């Protein structure tokens, strides 16, 4: 089991209820095509805090654009993440993909 993390950072934190990540559509497409689960993380130096979102929870971007903005809720703090929930999700996705691969040989 494995999952990928795309890490972004900023010195200042947003005054809003979410942190923004600007991602290239090309990068989104590359990550979306990976077999592994992908987590996007933004670290804010001023708060010494990081926020996360799974790529599956990000709305697909307009493919005609070069970049798009992802808003990560500040309620998704890495300090309070339930790693067992993430582990179980990664395991379920991995097992589902392995079962599909075995059935389609």
The reply to whether the predicted model has a pTM over 0.85 is yes
Q: Which CATH class is domain 3-103?
A: alpha beta
Where are the domains positioned within the chain?
3-103
- Asked if residue 11 has pLDDT above 90, the reply is no
Alpha-carbon distance of 67 to 100, in angstroms, equals 33
9 close to 42: Cβ distance less than 8 angstroms: yes
pLDDT digits (tens, 9 = 90+) for 51-76: 999 999 999 999 999 999 999 999 99
Using a pLDDT cut of 90, give the percent of the chain over it.
73
- Asked if residue 15 has pLDDT above 80, the reply is no
């Amino acid at each position: 089991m494995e999952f990928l993390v795309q890490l972004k950072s900023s010195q200042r934190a947003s005054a809003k209820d979410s942190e923004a990540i600007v991602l290239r559509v090309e990068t989104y497409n590359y990550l979306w095509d990976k077999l592994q689960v992908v987590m996007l993380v933004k670290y804010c130096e001023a708060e010494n805090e990081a926020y996360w979102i799974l790529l599956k929870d990000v709305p697909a971007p307009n493919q005609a654009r070069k970049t798009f903005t992802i808003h990560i809720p500040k309620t998704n703090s890495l300090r309070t993440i339930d790693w067992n929930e993430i582990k179980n999700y990664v395991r379920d996705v991995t097992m589902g993909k392995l079962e599909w691969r075995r059935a389609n040989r």
